Amino acid sequence: MNHSHPRYERTLVIIKPDGVQRSLIGEVIRRYERSGLKLAAMKMLIPTPDMVETHYTLDPEWKLKTGEKNLKAYRDKGLKPPHDDPIAQSNMILAKLKKYMASGPVVAMVWQGAHAVAIVRKLTGGTEPLMSDVGTIRGDYVLDSYKMADDDLRAIRNIVHASGSVKEAEDEIGYWFKKDEILSYRLLVDQMLYDTDLENFIE
């Protein structure tokens, strides 16, 4: 089997504690599932603050990228950010994220399929629910903003985590799942999604 085909791309999704508390587990899964992506692994757990820190710092660039994205979001709205230094901003975010993500059960999942990382990010929506597109999970089910979260000294509540790149996905999946917890199997719909030959349907 050619595992370099795009159909084998995988991404990590975590339904965060607010998604679980707001009874959105089924809704979130439904949205990814109906896209044609395949659920390859799933587990429920309560993460420790240390696990949350490790998860977000697997990518050494995360602090810089997240800090810069956050400062830009403030400036685009004509607002003054709490810090000018992106790393200082991310350190503050990380401390709050540890409290948020460790506050209760989460559902961790691996989704597989063509362009899994980008498709899941598209269905998930942008980080700040105030600006995430209508029709996305974060755009439809939650109403938080950077400013409100920062003023209230807490993390943005945005229902789900989704890996931001293929590399991030590989690292995060390796962190949250053992190899034998991730299942490889064929779904009947795979034929319609990926097979090059569709000549066997007419009787």
Residues involved in catalysis: 161
**Under rule CB under 5 A, residue 67 binds Mg ion:** no
> Is residue 68 a contact partner of residue 88, using CB atoms and an 8 Å limit?
no
Selected binder of ligand ADP within 142, 155, 169, 173 (CB under 6 A): 155
What is the pattern of x (binds Mg ion, CB under 5 A) and - over residues 148-177?
----------------x-------------
What dihedral do alpha carbons 137, 139, 142, 145 form, nearest 10°? 130
Choose, by CB under 6 A, the member of 32, 47, 70, 86 that binds ligand ADP: 70
How far apart are CB 188 and ligand ADP at their closest, in Å? 32
Considering the complex, state which of residue 170 and residue 194 has its C-beta at the smaller distance from ligand ADP: 170
Name the token pair of 196: 């090059």
- In a 10 Å sphere around its CB, with 0-12 CB exposed, 13-18 middle and 19+ buried, how is residue 154 labelled? middle
Select from 37, 177, 197, 60 the least CA-distant residue to 107. 177
The answer to whether 47 contacts Mg ion (rule: CB under 5 A) is no
Q: Which is nearer to Mg ion, 19 or 164 (CB)?
A: 164
